[in-house]
Chains A and B, each alone.
Chain A
Amino acid sequence: MRTIDMATTPLRDLNSTLQAAAASGEGQWEIVNPKGSHAVAVGLDGPIAVTIKGSTGYYCAGMNKAAKIHVTGSVGPGVAENMMSGHVIIEGDASQYAGATGHGGLLVIKGNASSRCGISMKGIDIVVHGNIGHMSAFMAQSGNLVVLGDAGDALGDSLYEARLFVRGSVKSLGADCVEKEMRPEHVEILRDLLDRSGAEAKPEEFKRYGSARQLYNFHVDNAGAY
């Protein structure tokens, strides 16, 4: 385990050290004193493990590939944005746009996530142990968003093929988002994600939401829906 202290190490040195370590593929790293810094541990590409002790600002773990990044505190907006693969775990809460446009990998938020969680997601899996805010999964294309708590207004507005699983209440559904039947294959997907994210919940307790696919091709009769 190697430790980098952000009280004495500039961001550029931190990221270039981690990027080089990720490229060579090994290692366990601990980052101390992040103190809300932005763009911490971004652009990593390789199977290293990074533990960030404390809370970060915007875009922590941005565009992550293959690395496992664990934040013991909370994160600012855009955590794991555009993640390609790997595993990002947040012990605390996440601000807006968590997992935005992510293409793959698993993002676990053990606290709550704010608005627009999973916006425009493109294959990432996101598991939130707490609640999520409004407009989550807006225009979500693919992947799975699992919420153990409640969802805010306009969940899944204009979504495409992403699957949304919510255990608690949904304040309102967005345009073209509907509740769907939970089939055995969905129970399996959900069981696996709950398992991998250390969530204590049963798949049977969730409801599934997805696209009604009514807005896939523009038709004037639907103009009122936009």
Chain B
Amino acid sequence: MDKTPPLPPRDSWTFSPDVNAEIRRAAATGIYDIRGGGAKRRVPHFDDLLFLGASMSRYPLEGYREKCGTNVTLGTRFAKKPIELKIPITIAGMSFGSLSGPAKEALGRGATMAGTSTTTGDGGMTEEERGHSQTLVYQYLPSRYGMNPDDLRRADAIEIVVGQGAKPGGGGMLLGQKITERVAGMRNLPEGIDQRSACRHPDWTGPDDLEIKILELREITGWEKPIYIKVGGARPYYDTALAVKAGADVVVLDGMQGGTAATQDVFIEHVGQPTLACIRPAVKALQDLGMHRKVQLIVSGGIRTGADVAKALAMGADAVSIGSAALIAIGENDPRWGKEYDALGTTPDAYDDWHEGKDPAGITTQDPELMKRVDPVDAARRLHNYLSVLTLECQTLARACGKSHVHNLEPEDLCALTIEAAAMAGVPLAGTNWIPGQGGF
């Protein structure tokens, strides 16, 4: 008789090694896991969409020859001085404190070279970024760290942050390790203590109050600056409609893959809707109110390539915004620091303990030695290169669809690879005319 063949060890899907490791970590520490970055799980995304390209009924534009515009104007609704950008890709709000001074400077320089805007974050405006950013969006956050009327007037636009995709409904957290004298001074708090950034604004509660808050900000700044409202991807139809009602010039919509400097892993992975699922409801809200293209929509959360940019625009966004990708472009998680990532118990591309302030790449840190590793001029060049590639890729796709401006991309140019993506993006499943939830066969 043959012996019964031995079965190989079998991992459980439910209790996978990852899950078990987290149970052991929790049991050892008694504290939830805090980390930076965005959702790491796979969710339906732009990769699940394809462009159809030109064919018998659509003719393409000549690459390198025929013009394909990429400029965008933001804030045409009420602001006396709307923002003019050369490319539809902006740099998202990332706080000084979570990022080092040289990293902020690099973002400002790189964005300026590319003809786009950069954004402050929780912690106020630094000279590095104001000085090096031709167009700077100033965030108005619940914490109001460093908020003052002079910086408000020095800004080119104001972004009222209601939520972030990584943590809709959550506040910020900057752990004591990163609170140096400079960071503490800007935030008016003692050095070395954990800084919680509130999850709600201190002086308004709903869209009716926000409308009055916006009136105040406009009165303080002479109705010059575009006012953005940033929301996490929670209830995109109603959030967008209410932002319009409250008087926004621009709505910034950040899906669940959006990065953060630090929050609970459970928040990052379990709250909010995927970016892909947020865009069409937001566009629908704008269309229902007759405000599409009048109130501009900026989409963020997991934008990596020119294809992502083009797909977001085709779905109706006016521009996109990038956080994580910009950090990677300037050197975050770079394999050249492999040994040091190893020493921290991680690997390049997986490092996410940004809250600890030990970033070998010198970007998500306040350590004076580590931050020297970012050369703002060189890093800016890399960011500029990267933004150029995103733009060229986006134009290439737009021309292939016969569009003379990237804003002419439309949902009809797309199909979806999965039923989920078809339903979320509101475009047909490839090979069919079926948009789940909208009839068809």
Contact = CB atoms under 8 A, between A and B. Distances in A.
Interface residues of B, number: 33
A43 B149 contact: yes
A160 B190 contact: yes
A77 B190 CA distance: 29
Contact of A11 (B149, B219, B220): B219
A134 interface: no
Contact of B30 (A15, A101, A139, A220): A220
Contact of A62 (B188, B216, B222): B216
Contacts of A120: 143-144, 198, 202
A161 interface: yes
Nearest to A97: B203
B24 to A, nearest CB: 16
Contacts of A139: 196, 198, 202
B408 interface: no
A65 B152 CA distance: 13
Interface residues of A, number: 42
B148 A84 contact: yes
Contact of A42 (B188, B196, B216): B216
A29 to B, nearest CB: 16
Contacts of B196: 139, 158
Most buried by A among B143, B152, B194, B204: B204
B242 interface: no
Contacts of A84: 148-149
B212 interface: yes
B54 interface: no
B221 A43 contact: yes
B259 to A, nearest CB: 22
A63 B29 contact: no
Given A12-B223, A81-B216, A216-B176, 17 more contacts: A38-B212, A38-B215, A42-B220, A43-B221, A58-B213, A59-B213, A62-B216, A62-B220, A63-B149, A63-B152, A63-B220, A84-B148, A97-B202, A122-B144, A122-B188, A123-B188, A141-B189
Interface of B: 29-31, 143-144, 147-149, 152, 175-176, 187-190, 192-194, 196, 198, 202-204, 209, 212-213, 215-216, 219-223
Among all A-B residue pairs, the 9 with the closest Cβ atoms = A43-B220, A216-B193, A101-B144, A78-B203, A97-B203, A39-B216, A100-B203, A63-B149, A59-B216
